Amino acid sequence: MATALSLWNDTPVRQAIVDYVAAVTDRTSPNFVPEVDRIATFDNDGTLWCEKPMYIQLSHGLRGIGRMAAAKPEVRDRQPFKAVYEKDMGWLGQVAADYAKGDPRGFITVVGGMAEVFEGITVAAFEADALEFLNDAQDARFKVPYKQLTYKPMVELVHYLQEHGFAAWLTSAGGRDFMRAVCEEVYNIPRSMTIGTSVAYKYAEDDKGVAQLMRTNEIEQPIDDGPGKPPHIARAIARRPIMAAGNSDGDIQMLTYAQGHEGATLELLVHHDDAAREYEYDAGAEKALQLASSHGWLVVSMKNDWKTVF
């Protein structure tokens, strides 16, 4: 094995991670954990890949909303189709500003529009559209396809854990099926270990009698964020994680849930403090950063702990 976590600077944070993994994998350690219980859960947006200037999935959704508005004049008189069709940046900016302040109504309108765009197509067709977008569409600042906006030190951490007998799960507040388009390629996380928010599926048989699963526009509750994250994790994994990584207030309950495991646990909070290489913001993570201090969660400084970002 190459040097552990070679993309991380030699800091106390890197050392704490290495020490933790050493302890839980050492049979002679009082903190040894058998493989079956070595469960690590990772938030996605802002933890494993970039979430600014907007969620990558939102860019994909807005593209779909724009296409639908172009094709169907009858939707242009209502949001979010109207704003996207008219390139009304004021409305879209207000949605983002309201969301950051804790008012999700505009955001829910946008998400509802996204669900509507992809309603009634097969799950496979949705995924093909997401994959094409992630392969081809480029981020405006970094000039690379979106799927390259993963944080390489975090991907290295996922692989490091896997090499040490951990099962690493992706648990995204965003769309599960959007991530399933690339989770194996970009993270080496299996599709079945990628969970997240989703619309409900509907069973159908096509005109040849072949069973298909169609997307509905009904978003399953709870969404995989905040207090909804542990229920999603328990439903899919059925074991309490011993390690979890997030970056925002939406990850607090997941980190608390992992910390409730008997024995040694590790909670990571990725801190966006690197304006030069990525972005610098605490908005939406204020409470998590406070709790990190009181609960002993490890705050990862992108600026100081990582040799590289992308």
Which residues form the interface with a copy of itself (CB under 8 A)?
123, 180, 191-192, 194, 198, 200-203, 205, 209-213, 221-222, 227-228, 230-231, 234-239, 253, 256-257, 259-260
DSSP 145: B
Distance in Å, CB of 134 to a copy of itself, minimum:
17
Nearer to a copy of itself, 47 or 194 (CB): 194
Nearer to a copy of itself, 97 or 234 (CB): 234
Distance in Å, CB of 15 to a copy of itself, minimum:
27
| 301 token code pair | 């400084």
Distance in Å, CB of 11 to a copy of itself, minimum:
29
Distance in Å, CB of 127 to a copy of itself, minimum:
9
Nearer to a copy of itself, 90 or 209 (CB): 209
Distance in Å, CB of 189 to a copy of itself, minimum:
11
Nearer to a copy of itself, 162 or 256 (CB): 256
Distance in Å, CB of 279 to a copy of itself, minimum:
29
Gap between the Cα atoms of 32 and 24, Å rounded: 4
Nearer to a copy of itself, 79 or 198 (CB): 198
Angle at which helices 252-259 and 229-237 pack, to 10 degrees? 50
| 261 token code pair | 């495991």
Query: Is the separation of the CB atoms in 179 and 196 below 8 Å?
Result: yes
Gap between the Cα atoms of 47 and 27, Å rounded: 30
Gap between the Cα atoms of 65 and 109, Å rounded: 12
Nearer to a copy of itself, 13 or 214 (CB): 214
DSSP 251: G
Distance in Å, CB of 225 to a copy of itself, minimum:
11
What Å distances lie between residue 122 and 66, 129, 304, CA to CA? 20, 11, 44
CB 287: neighbour CB atoms within 10 A?
11
Considering only CA atoms, which of 269, 266, 121 is closest in space to residue 202? Answer: 121
Nearer to a copy of itself, 146 or 257 (CB): 257
Pairing of strands 266-273, 298-301: parallel
Query: Is the separation of the CB atoms in 40 and 167 below 8 Å?
Result: yes
Distance in Å, CB of 209 to a copy of itself, minimum:
8
Nearer to a copy of itself, 156 or 225 (CB): 225
Contacts of 226 (CB under 8 A, 6+ apart): 249, 250, 252, 253
Gap between the Cα atoms of 223 and 203, Å rounded: 22
